[in-house]
Amino acid sequence: MHNLMLRIRTGWNAVRVIYLALGIFIIVQSALRPDWVGVVAGGWFAAMGLFALGCAGGNCAGGNCDTGK
């Protein structure tokens, strides 16, 4: 639990903010329609930004992702 809170509080950059903002926007717009598949997709983007998952956490840009090359 401590590690999760640490990931949320630290390491913020522009990409994480964009992922979080885009995710929240997609969730709100999809919920107003109601398009529940869009809510799930928006939740994925928001989670990537909030918890620093995947490229939102800078892992792909830093060369840490295995691309098979």
pLDDT tens for 3-14 read: 778 878 887 888
Rounded to two decimals, what is the model's pTM? 0.74
Is residue 47 within 8 Å of 66, Cβ to Cβ?
Answer: no
Closest C-alpha among 10, 9, 44 to residue 27: 44
Q: What is the pLDDT of residues 22-69, one digit of tens each?
A: 999 999 999 999 889 999 999 999 998 888 887 666 666 555 555 555
